[in-house]
Amino acid sequence: MFGVLAVMNSENEIGFLAAFSGKLAGGNHHSGFVPPVFDSLSENSFLNIGMTELSHINQEIKNIQKLKEEGFQERVNRLKNLRKHHSVLLQTKLYNSYAFLNQYGEEKSLNELFKAASYKNPPAGAGECAAPKLLQYAFEQKMKPLALAEFWWGQSPKSEHWKHKHFYPCCKEKCEPILTHMLQGLKQE
């Protein structure tokens, strides 16, 4: 999904910002597009280090299961508990790293926003959609949002109903709690 946000800067000049949902061509940073709210692909980030640690735990589990030495199941269970604990901590840190602004400069994390909306946890990919990226950049740059549109460009994924060059509303499950905060106090039609 791609998005465009018409904005007004502090000199009352009107322009636009562009964004894409998720990653584009395997990356987060492309000329002409706003940056991500949180860059999960940055080298040596806590997320990459944490995912590497989870991979090591998974490999150790596989190795132990192949050998089936005495007491192997107890070791496997201990490693699975360690993996679960590590995964939960990593996910919590990730969701706290996504911090969204509104026009008042109030910042809230994914965890805060989705808990307030009665979700157990944010869904996968929350915070990666075009609309939150656009609004975040506009607020960081002290721009006033004027109009927002999101559209699908390219071949439709087999599991989805999106069609090339069609406009779509922001998704409820990933964006509604975020946009409720970000659009607070802004006139909407």
pLDDT tens digits for 161-174? 888 888 988 888 89
* Domain ranges, ordered by start, for the chain: 1-37+103-189, 39-97
What is the per-residue burial (b if ≥16 Cβ within 10 Å, else e) of 74-104? ebbeebeeebeeeeeebbeebbebbbbbbbe
Q: Is the pLDDT of residue 156 over 90?
A: no
Answer whether 55's CB lies under 8 Å from 81's CB: no
Q: What is the rounded average pLDDT for all residues in the chain?
A: 92
pLDDT tens digits for 18-45? 999 998 988 889 999 999 999 988 878 8
Which of 44, 53, 52, 76 is CA-nearest to residue 63? 76
Separation CA 35–CA 39 (nearest Å): 8
pLDDT tens digits for 48-104? 899 999 999 999 999 999 988 888 999 999 999 999 999 999 999 999 999 999 999
